[in-house]
Structure 1
Amino acid sequence: MTTTPAPVRTSLTRHLAWGIGLAVVAAIAWFGWMGWDSEYWYDEAGDPHGPYETWQVAGCVLTLLVACVLGAALWRPLGPMAVMPPAFTAAWIATSASGDDQGLWPVGALFVLVGTVLGAGLVGIIVGAFDPPSTRRRRHR
């Protein structure tokens, strides 16, 4: 019977914790900021708007941005791109697919997934560009 050395287990546990933590934050960002709101409102001309207010979208984006920057800086530059978009999209599907009468939720889910992958990837690339090689080597040992 072979055992894995402690540093490898610790590293694996740390990576798993980062991944799960960022996925949970991404899902909570959806549910906390926008997942609960489904009401549309009408302006004076009778045009429908909503269901999200500007402050909700800004808060959700800011939450995702902070989590993604921290994950990219303290874990791996492109790590958040692997775990945040699927979790955010799954949370979106949980609230949006059930209310879709026309069956277009898969298209919306694809747009949400692609948008969050591109956003997290861009943040990871930017954060990675500012990560000095000496810090990168020390962090990934």
Structure 2
Amino acid sequence: MSRKSLDLVPTVFLVLAPVVAWAAWLGWDQHQDVHADGSVSGPYEAWQVVGLVLTLLVPVCWAASRGRATAAVLGTTAGLTVAAGYDWSDDASGLYLVGAALVAVAALLSTLAVCAVVSAVRGRPRPGA
């Protein structure tokens, strides 16, 4: 395998990880919850979204700590946007596009912030070194 092919592996992983994580945490829950007072919530519970975020912190921090912040930001954003768009595409109103766009913006901003923090910490000299 060539060096260029090996460089592509982490990028592909950073696109696929959010899709797999979305399916694991959110993809199986498709029904809204109707409460006793008639109000409706869901389909996702807060713990599912927190689980998704914490799961995605691992590959994003890993990539950022190895100087692949651009791949982490773009890959995670693309993966989450595709997963959300696909999961919500059965919405006949078309508003799923707005939701997917909001996921894209949130993913972009949050992964940028995480990568900036990881890169800043990584750039500091280690104590005792």
Same fold per superposition (TM over 0.5): yes
> In the alignment, which residue of structure 1 is the partner of 2:24?
32
Contact 2:19 2:82 survives alignment (8 Å): yes
4+ long deviations beyond 3 Å: none
Kindly tell me the number of residue pairs found equivalent between the two proteins.
125
Unaligned runs of 5+ in 1: 1-5, 135-141
Are residues 1:17 and 2:9 paired? yes
Larger radius of gyration: 1
AA aligned opposite 1:110: A
Are residues 1:86 and 2:86 paired? no
AA aligned opposite 1:37: D
Structure 2 residue corresponding to 1:42, chosen from 34, 49, 70: 34
AA aligned opposite 2:104: L
Matched-pair identity in %: 31
CA distance in structure 1 between the partners assigned to 2:33 and 2:16 by the alignment:
31
Shift of the 27–75 alpha-carbon distance from structure 1 to 2, 3 Å rule, reads farther
CA distance in structure 2 between the partners assigned to 1:61 and 1:88 by the alignment:
11
CA RMSD of aligned residues (A): 1.9
- Structure 2 counterpart SS, 1:124: helix
Contact 1:89 1:113 survives alignment (8 Å): yes
CA distance in structure 2 between the partners assigned to 1:133 and 1:127 by the alignment:
10
Unaligned runs of 5+ in 2: none
The TM-score with structure 1 as length reference comes to 0.81
